[in-house]
Amino acid sequence: MVTSSSTNASVKSNTGRMAAVQEMAGLLRLLFEIEREFIRTATTLIPRVGDVELKYLLCQHVWESAGHARLLRERGSEMSGFGKGDSVRPDITKLFEETIRPADETESLAGFYRIIKPAMLDSYRHYLEATHHLADWPSRHLVQEFVADEERHLEEIRPYLAELDTYPLLDHLSSILDSMGGLLRERPVVDLPDGFCWLQDSQAYSHPQICNRGDYPICSSVFGHDPEEDPIVREWLEDPNTDARVIRLMIYVWLMMELDAVDYLATVFYDTKEAPFDLHYDLARHLWDESRHSAFGFRQLPRLGVDLNTLEHSLDLYNILIHMSPPERYAMMTMEFESGSFPTKAKIMDRVRELNDFEADTLLAFDRNDEQNHVRYGHRWLPEILKLFGETRPVEEFVNATRERFGELAKLYGGKVPHSLPSEKRLTGKRICALAGLEK
């Protein structure tokens, strides 16, 4: 979205010698723009929904959509008429903006997966019907894979959509699609109903001030110094006398709490509308990585005896960062939290290797590999995000100032979430020792 929408390819009928190619390129362009807007807006669901597995699934779908968009752009660039730049047509943007406007996150979820995603699936199927099986084989090969992905997405989301067919948003979005003639303009245009009102004209979108964690217990932070109160005791992580089994449990808690990174990173997409697609592509990979890291802990802790209903979710980072600008959020994540974690995590990896636990070694190795890539993303994209927001300070100066600002905001917004569970019922360092079969 760094160029004018005038660079978009036309989808109107052409009569020149390259008409067949240009018409198919125009449809590919529309499909690219549709996937691009899904990535930018569906990410707003992630901090709003409470179910942890649903957060993970949305991150996966966003990453797969980013892959679709990238391949559509690559294929389109080979065809006359695809257009330059990453811009999205205003009417497509308006459709997706309507989808995120309801205050009820389940209504927005239904809008995306009862109306938008089925329309995207229909669009891919229409492309297969409209193009030539041999002449356009490269496009068809991609689109056939995308059809399978979209069908799977709808099946994977089904358990979360029970009884979500009665929301007024669904008819509202259907009317907009009819007025567009479908996402690919493949059917007759139908006028909007009399009295139709655009939600975005009266309702601005804003990210939630506190991210949703559903029925899970919550707290300000899982890190602390008191084994009677906190599950991750900071001093124990690097103490050579701490049993490796305790270290393993604590690092899994730490990994699971990367869910806070999922929630606050998800807010950056919507706030960087004018960013180049490649930035959003890397953000989508980053987001999916963080969700997988969180799932490492979410899946492994119960296998080691932890009842997840006793593990409070820490909310401090989201609660503080949501009061910072998008470049500040991204700078803290990549240049502070992730880059600063390497020394401690390296020692933890060495300790866990004492257990000859191949699965733990594997998960921690991939976590480190991913985090190294994330820091590289930060070095690449933070300067671009600063430009989007008119920030002229050198990156290093900006990062240093952001660290100081985070510290000040932490005084205002940190430590405000009380424990949902009393200490005798929640997971603590002392209970981790008991689960590991010893006392610290």
Residue pLDDT, tens place only, 52-98: 999 999 999 999 999 999 999 999 999 999 999 999 999 999 999 99
Give percent of the chain with pLDDT exceeding 70: 95
The reported pLDDT for the residue numbered 19 is: 84
Give percent of the chain with pLDDT exceeding 90: 92
Of 265, 218, 212, 185, give the one whose Cα is nearest residue 103.
Answer: 212
Q: pLDDT band at 234, cuts 50/70/90?
A: very high
Rounded CA-CA distance 29/8 in Å is: 7
Please check whether residue 107 is in contact with residue 169, taking contact to mean a CB–CB distance below 8 angstroms: yes
| 16-201: CATH number | 1.20.1260.10
Tell me the backbone φ, ψ of residue 233, rounded to 5 degrees.
-95, 110
Q: pLDDT band at 121, cuts 50/70/90?
A: very high
319 has a pLDDT exceeding 50: yes
The reported pLDDT for the residue numbered 62 is: 98
The reported pLDDT for the residue numbered 208 is: 96
The mean predicted confidence, pLDDT, of the chain is 94
Q: pLDDT band at 11, cuts 50/70/90?
A: very low
CATH number of this structure's domain 218-435, picked from the four choices 3.40.50, 2.30.30, 1.20.910, 1.10.3470: 1.20.910
What average pLDDT score do residues 415-430 get? 96
9 has a pLDDT exceeding 90: no
Q: pLDDT band at 13, cuts 50/70/90?
A: low
301 has a pLDDT exceeding 70: yes
Domain definitions of the chain by residue range? 16-201, 218-435
What average pLDDT score do residues 289-317 get? 97
